[in-house]
Structure 1
Amino acid sequence: MHNSRHAADSERLHIEGVCALLASARTKAELGTLLAREAERYTLADLQVIGGRLYREVASLPSPYREAVRPYFTEQILGAYHRLISMHRSGRFTAMAEPIADREAAAAYFAMVPEGCFCWDDTGADNYGPRHRFFYYLVAAFEMFVLNRPGHPVGMPFPGGFAVEERSGRFLCPVRDREKDVPHSLCNFCPAEQSEMP
């Protein structure tokens, strides 16, 4: 018990320290590089745990929504990860000298993330825990604060037949403002605007 408590405390301190460092980033280049360095710490085994959890969560959704949303969830998590690592390794962040568009939102996001990682008690047979939830927040931060894109991919459907859209360079989301009461939701920090509902 003592060792598991020590490991959890150590994990919390690590996530809090990384979030403080991420919140201090001023440019997209700096933030992208810091996010990529942290994402590179995830092993193939970690990615398998994350992918397995993603698969099980999507599998629990009702059909036909499950089939429609599966590629978007995969893109949201694993596609963003591959873009982040690819941009870092190819040196593309060095050309991104512009400041983070909304540093206040980014700072608030990174202040929220540690609690978002530890608020669930869902470690079980799949070994999914705070470190894996942190991965989700890392790739979402990359999309929202480095690429200025929504946390959910364009085209991602939501129940009711609505989807994330891009119109004239603006991102519109059908659930953006409906997540305000969900304290650890990335939607509260997303650059997308609430779409008009018919």
Structure 2
Amino acid sequence: MARSRLDLNPDEAEEEIRRVASALCNRGTRARLARLITTEIKSYTPHDLMQIAAALRREIERLPPLYRKAYQQSAQEQIFGTHHRILLMEREGRIETLPGEIPDPALFTTFCLMMEEACLAPGQSGDAHMAPMGRLLYYLLSCFLIFILFESAHPIGTPFPGGMKVELKGGVVCCPVREKEDDVPYALCRFCPAHQS
């Protein structure tokens, strides 16, 4: 039985996160990057995914009721929907046929460095999705969306406080908080292909 990635001790988790970040930086093509991400997400056990889902549900339960339901659907899609899409693409043989290089290598390198720093940042909660290895899964899935599929980090329909949400307008994904990257440490905004709405 595979060892839980969430059960790694702090030193093991740090070593693993640094290894993955370094390996990501050294992938020049979309196919090679997608293969690496697929391998890494498959190393999370079903129990790891259940722990992350439970922790996410607990966090969402603390949100205001009107915001809670819509956000829960988007969060589930962002994490578990993306996880499923990657595995399906692998089963269908679409990972190996992804054409081209990773766009904007300098931006991608910045993403890899930010991911490592974010995963290793002190003061993260003990909940599975906020622990270093839980955060690594989140950033790997986001990396796939942004740099492989060229999609927004948050699914269309993701709500934000104030009644705003990610929308598709004329074939362009628009996000109401796209330009707020400086307000949130380790935000995906600067890497996301969405436009400010």
TM-score calculated relative to the size of structure 1: 0.88
Instruction: Choose 145-154 or 25-34, whichever is displaced more.
Output: 25-34
1:1-198 matches, within 5 Å, as 7-124=9-126, 129-195=131-197
What CA deviation, in whole Å up to 9, does each residue of 1:22-65 have, x standing for no partner? 11212211111110000000001110111011111111100111
Contact 1:32 1:88 in 2 (8 A): no
Distance 1:131 1:178 in 2: 26
> Structure 1: 5+ residue runs without aligned partners?
1-5
Contact 2:151 2:193 in 1 (8 A): yes
Contact 2:156 2:167 in 1 (8 A): yes
Distance 2:128 2:49 in 1: 12
Instruction: Give the number of aligned pairs.
Output: 190
| Distance apart, 1:182 and its partner CA | 2.3
Among all aligned residue pairs of Structure 1 and Structure 2, give the percentage whose two residues are the same amino acid: 38
| Distance apart, 1:172 and its partner CA | 1.1
Distance 1:127 1:69 in 2: 16
Distance 2:115 2:195 in 1: 21
Distance 1:115 1:155 in 2: 29
SS at match of 1:95: coil
Alpha-carbon spacing, 1:33–1:59, altered in 2? closer, same or farther (3 Å) = same
Runs ≥4 residues deviating over 4 A: 125-128
| Distance apart, 1:188 and its partner CA | 2.5
Instruction: Choose 148-157 or 177-186, whichever is displaced more.
Output: 177-186
Alpha-carbon spacing, 1:125–1:160, altered in 2? closer, same or farther (3 Å) = closer
Contact 2:52 2:128 in 1 (8 A): no
Alpha-carbon spacing, 1:126–1:113, altered in 2? closer, same or farther (3 Å) = closer
| Distance apart, 1:147 and its partner CA | 0.5
| Distance apart, 1:183 and its partner CA | 2.9
Q: Which amino acid aligns with 1:38?
A: E
Contact 2:128 2:134 in 1 (8 A): no
Distance 2:186 2:19 in 1: 18
Q: Which amino acid aligns with 1:147?
A: L
Contact 1:29 1:94 in 2 (8 A): yes
Contact 1:102 1:145 in 2 (8 A): no
> Structure 2: 5+ residue runs without aligned partners?
1-7
Q: Which amino acid aligns with 1:87?
A: M
Aligned CA RMSD, in angstroms, stands at 1.9
Alpha-carbon spacing, 1:127–1:92, altered in 2? closer, same or farther (3 Å) = closer
| Distance apart, 1:87 and its partner CA | 0.8
What CA deviation, in whole Å up to 9, does each residue of 1:94-151 have, x standing for no partner? 2212222232222111111122112143454769621111111110111111100011
